[in-house]
Chain A
């Protein structure tokens, strides 16, 4: 059974860096493009980007200048850092795995973490 679990601070001060980690259990960590998606309260979902186990990333251009992704294959973990946060970055952050039939990172998602609410305070 594949499980994803986000972890990290729930409160970040404006202008600082948001950091989250997703730990994956079950399945093959090296077979997928691991993805971050966020959802501001009451709004739709926004794709942040993905990372492959080799470190290859593709990021949303709207966030690319502030986003860093990394991967730790020894721990089956991947991480997100978002710098210079503002109130607009307050959201539930999800990590997700693409559907198994889909190769690459441009895919629908079948496994999601439970979501981590990150609030940016002034």
Chain B
């Protein structure tokens, strides 16, 4: 099975900061990587798919990059509504799998 290692597990930042979250796959997943934002009590919301494609309606301050086994999600200028938990997901091979999550908190 594909293992997804996400870091950091938590992150404190301020409004306006630039933050980066990293996800490492145990094998090459050939850009089959998506990022989700989840707020308490809500279903996840897809932000990025195919490693770098922004889902329709997602603000341009979110961006994804990477290749092979290492991928990143960057938020260029944090807004108050961005404080949430973020997950990566690989869909290169079944069973599909998610990272452990990064909780982004207000400093």
Contacts and interface: CB of A to CB of B under 8 A. Distances in A.
16 contacts: A44-B87, A44-B101, A46-B98, A47-B96, A49-B95, A60-B95, A99-B49, A99-B55, A102-B49, A105-B94, A106-B92, A106-B94, A109-B44, A113-B43, A114-B42, A114-B43
Interface in A85-109: 94, 96, 99, 101-102, 105-109
A44 B44 contact: no
Give the residue among A46, A47, A61 with the most B Cβ atoms within 10 A.
Answer: A47
Chain A interface secondary structure, helix, strand, loop or mixed?
loop
B100 A44 contact: yes
A112 interface: yes
A45 B87 contact: yes
Given A45-B98, A47-B96, A115-B43, A106 B91 contact: yes
Chain B interface secondary structure, helix, strand, loop or mixed?
loop
Interface residues of B, number: 22
Interface of B: 1, 32, 34, 42-44, 46, 49, 55, 87, 89, 91-101
Interface residues of A, number: 24
Nearest to A105: B94
Given A58-B94, A99-B46, A99-B49, A110 B55 contact: yes
Give the residue among B92, B95, B97 with the most A Cβ atoms within 10 A.
Answer: B95
B88 to A, nearest CB: 10
